[in-house]
Structure formats: structure tokens, C-alpha cells
Amino acid sequence: MTATDSISELRGAVEEAARALRDGERTEPPPTLDRPPKPELGDYSSNAAMLLAGPLGDNPRAVAERLRAELEGSLGDGGDIDRIEVAGPGFVNLFLSDAWYRRALAALAGSGDALAAVATDAPERVLVEGPSANPTGPLHVGGGRLAAYGDAVVRLLEAVGHEVEREYYVNDAGAQVGTFADSIGARMKGEGPPENGYGGEYVSELAERIAAEGIGPEDREALGLRGIELMLEGVRETLGRFGVGIDTFASERAIYARGEVESALARLDAGGHTYRSDDALWLRTTSFGDDKDRVLIKSDGEPTYLTADVAYHWDKLQRGFDRLIDVLGADHHGYVGRIRAAIAALGGDPDAFEAQIMNLVHVVEGGERVQMSKRSGDFVSLDDLLDDIGVDATRWFMLWRSHETTVDLDLELARSQSSDNPVYYVQYAHARIASILRKAEGSAAGAAGGDGGDRIVPLEPGEKALIKRLLQFPDEVRESAARRAPHRICAYSTAVAADFHSFYRDCQVVGAEGEGVERSRLALCRAAKRTIAEALGLLGISAPERM
């Protein structure tokens, strides 16, 4: 038996009862099985009667009564329920027995991995691209948010059984490389940055380092290439330190070098999707839902950024991925229509392409926003942030809000190692449990293990609440993965920690009296500890044994 079975069994029983009332016909959408808002309303609750009222032509409360009779038969025989009530507009509320809770806990304790049960029935090959920040400077906090998010989404997708690769697209071609080279060259000559150039302190350091390698300011190409190479090295180091693994770095130059841009252009041309106007080559993206057509080759003969990107996305599809997820900054959201259109024009499935738009992150200190601008060089780099508040707090504060909303990262809050800081709150719960388990190793019950299945003492409300919370984990992971919403995992782990702390206040664990009580509470502690660790693991955050 696995952890989800306790919930799935109940859900199945409700669906079964609903079907019985409709002579075997299934109800669409399927009835819910939720936790009601208040404990007086039972352990679990279903809206099945309201859904059935229409088709059956009966009022919801009457239908609910019939459902209750069905369920009392099916669940009652197994001794799973204390009682069933009909309430409100027609909710069917289930009050579960201690026997059900003991079995649920045994199932939790018995499965070595809380996530074992979440596998999807439709695994996909997915490529997640991000943060793909320009290699003309170090990663800043915005890139860090893209990286943290992309990485958490990858972990979620892998947890539910998808086959995922992570890729970083390197813009190492085009005009910006020249600008970057000029900026480095200017520094070598002791000059300020050129107009629209890069002026950060790191450019000076780069200039020094590259000069020492014997490359002079006049060698523009070598300057640009080497500069980007070195920046990318730094990016890799930062990402590594941040716990973000990238499987492949895809080079824009390489896309050109392999002739993929030409072949993409040829394919678009052959499909009749391009035309010439004003000396430029245009892609008719409006045929595929874009607002206006886009230029592929400028009148000066140079391709646009879009052209390489189209070739790149086509390349990704050709590599056999079922789904492409691009993690993009909010300032790129105008871009997704073009890519979709281009994919369609190339004959691909535009729905295979999915853009996750990340909103901005503002670093706040003392109520004021710290300014960020790569051009002036006055920005908070991800490295600086990691030095300041550490990997765990950084990841937490970049993930705990929906990616669609802007987030203010309050340095003082993130730095504080106190109860104010939610990441420590969750980690503290984990460390506290670890401490209890260490203490229990000496006791007979702790050494014996087991799940307390022989327990006859009734369960406390705090124990039941925690068990229900832990049972929720697989659904939470599935939902978070499906919606690409790691912030839900932050909220969930906070809730587990809160439920644990309440349980801990009410229930003595080590040395608890009563047959099997200590054993069952230790089993609950182990399950809670493992769940917190796995939840934090999905976020790339550590779960310390001590703090």
C-alpha cells in the first residue's frame, strides 16, 4: 500500500457511490474530495450531491442522503468511518475512524519515499530552457529568479515522472558581442565605456585578465569571444553554487555554424511564409496569430535575433522533445507570439511550446529598492546575494511567490535567522524532529521501530491533522508540477511545519504512555521529517539535521 492509497480509496468510494445512483454512469467532472474549512465538518468532504442533483432531477440534500446511505454501506463495513453527515447545501462529510488513521499512518511509514506514488500516466520528454541570461555580465538577481524557478520546475516535473533536460541558451553572436568587445577594449585603453556599452566593475577586471593573456584592444573578435567565455565560466560557477544544474549550454554561434539558420530560413521560404519588403526579409507571423510580421534579415543583410531563435527552437523540437518550456523574464513576454508563430510556420506544433513568464524581483533594503542596471554596473549580482543571505534563503525568497507576480526580496528579513524568516521556520521543524529522533534512539520504542499499529489509545486532534497534511503531499506535488507552480510547495511545507509544531506541543513523543503510542508518534515524526525534506528538496533547499 502506498501513501496515496488512503486518499484514493476514499475518493474511489465516493465515485463508486455516485455511480451507483446513476446506474453506473460516471459523473463529469468527478466529485471532489476536499478537506472542509472547519474540523466540525468532518475529515473529508465531497460535493458529489450537488453535481448529481441536476442529472438526477432531485434536490442536493436528498441526493446527499442517498449518497450517505451508499457510503455507510461501502465504507462502514471496513470500519473506516465513525459517521457521515449531510450539511450545508448538500455536502457529504466523512468523519473517519481511528482505525482509518492508523492504517494511513502505517502506509506513510511503510513507503520509503513519499513521492513514490505521484508518477504521471503520461510522461513527456521536456526541455526546460533558462535562465539564458546574456553572457556579457555576471548573473544578477533577476537571472537568479529565472534559474531558481526553472530548476524547481525541473525537479517537480522529474518528481512526477517526466524526462527533463535543462538548457541554457548562450547569446554569443550578434551585435552585442561587438559592443561587449568594445567595452573591454576601451577599458584596456583606460577609456570609459562606449555609448550603450557595458560599464560595470567586472569589465575592468575582464580587461585586465584578457590583456594578461596577450590579447590587445584592437583584436575585436578575440576580445569578444574570450570575454564571453570568461563570463560564462563565472555564470557556471554561480549556478553551481546556487545548486542549479544545466545539462547543456546551447550556443547561438554554433546554431549558425551548423547551418541551422540557413536551413530554417529555407524551410520557411519553401513554405511560402516569407517575403521581401524594403530590402528586408520578413516572416509572415500574422498568418499564425502574431500582431505584425517580423523581420528575419535586416536590410543590411544581417539576421535579427529572432532568426537564430527560430532556428534554435526548431532544433529543440527536432531533438525529439514533446514539450519546450522557456523560462523568460517579463520583459520578453512580447516575444512568445513570434516564436509560436514561427514554430507553426515551420510545421511544428505551437502548443508544444510553453513560455513561463517570470515577473521582476526587486531587492529591498530598509524599505528602499536597490537599483539594478547592468549598463551602469550598479546592480546586485546573484553572487553578492548568495554571500549575503545564503543559498537556502535566496532560493526560498525567489520561489515563495507565484512567478507571475513581482516579488520584493527584503534583505533584512532574508538575513534574519529568526522566527520572522519563513525558510528557517520550515528548516527548524525538520531539525527539531531530527533532534527528537536522536533522543529516541536510546529508548526501547525508538530502537524497536514499527508504526504503532497495535495502538489502542485514541489519536489526538494534532496527530490527525498532521497525518492528513502529510497525505496531501502527493496531490500537492502533482498540482504544483502541472501548474509549474513551485511556490505552492513553499506554502505546503510551511503548513507541514505548522502542523508539526502544533502536534508537538500537544503530544509527548519520547516516553509517551500507552500501548504503541510512542511507536506510532515516532513513525509520524519520521514521516513528517521525510516529507519536509522531500518538499524542500523539490525547491533545492537543504533540510538540516541541526541548526
Taking CB under 7 A as the criterion, which residues in 130-169 touch RNA? 134
d(CA 95, CA 91): 13
Parallel, antiparallel, or unpaired: how do β-strands 125-129 and 163-170 relate? parallel
- Per CB under 7 A, the list member of 18, 504, 536, 543 interacting with RNA is 504
Q: Could you give phi then psi for residue 454, rounded to 5 degrees? A: -90, 5
Q: How many residues does the chain have?
A: 547
- Please report, as residue ranges, which positions from 220 to 259 form the binding site for RNA (by CB under 7 A): none
- Per CB under 7 A, the list member of 6, 66, 91, 342 interacting with RNA is 91
490-494, long-range: CB within 8 Å, 24+ apart, which pairs? 490/396, 490/399, 490/400, 490/422, 490/539, 491/400, 492/535, 493/426, 493/532, 493/535, 493/536, 493/539, 494/422, 494/425, 494/426
Q: Least separation, in Å, of the C-beta of 214 and RNA?
A: 28
d(CA 200, CA 375): 7
Per CB under 7 A, the segment of 14-22, 110-118, 147-155, 274-282 that binds RNA is 274-282
The reply to whether 351 sits near RNA by the rule CB under 7 A is no
Cβ-based nearer residue to RNA, 144 or 188? 144
Q: Which helix (H) or strand (E) holds 78?
A: none
Q: Least separation, in Å, of the C-beta of 212 and RNA?
A: 28
Which amino acid appears at position 456 of this protein?
I
Binding mask 374-413 for RNA (x = CB under 7 A): ---------------------------xx-xxxxx-----
Cβ-based nearer residue to RNA, 45 or 472? 45
Q: Least separation, in Å, of the C-beta of 542 and RNA?
A: 13
Diameter over CA atoms, the chain: 87
- Per CB under 7 A, the list member of 58, 359, 388, 415 interacting with RNA is 359
Question: How remote is the C-alpha of 386 from its chain's centroid?
Answer: 20
The reply to whether 76 sits near RNA by the rule CB under 7 A is no
Cβ-based nearer residue to RNA, 165 or 494? 494
d(CA 258, CA 441): 61
Q: What is the DSSP string of 51-72?
A: HHHHHHTS-HHHHHHHHHHHHH
Binding mask 406-435 for RNA (x = CB under 7 A): xxx--------xxxx-x-xx--x--xx-xx
- Please report, as residue ranges, which positions from 438 to 497 form the binding site for RNA (by CB under 7 A): 439, 485, 487-488, 491, 494, 497
Binding mask 275-304 for RNA (x = CB under 7 A): --xxxx----------xx-xx--xxx-x-x
Number of amino acids touching RNA (CB under 7 A): 91
The reply to whether 371 sits near RNA by the rule CB under 7 A is no
Q: Least separation, in Å, of the C-beta of 446 and RNA?
A: 10
The reply to whether 372 sits near RNA by the rule CB under 7 A is no
Q: Which helix (H) or strand (E) holds 158?
A: helix 141-159
Per CB under 7 A, the segment of 89-97, 150-158, 259-267, 313-321 that binds RNA is 89-97
Cβ-based nearer residue to RNA, 288 or 335? 335
Asked if 324 contacts 317 with a C-beta cutoff of 8 angstroms, the reply is yes
Of 35, 99, 3, nearest to 526 (Cα)?
3
- Please report, as residue ranges, which positions from 14 to 73 form the binding site for RNA (by CB under 7 A): 29-30, 32, 36-38, 41-42, 45, 47, 50-51, 53-54, 60
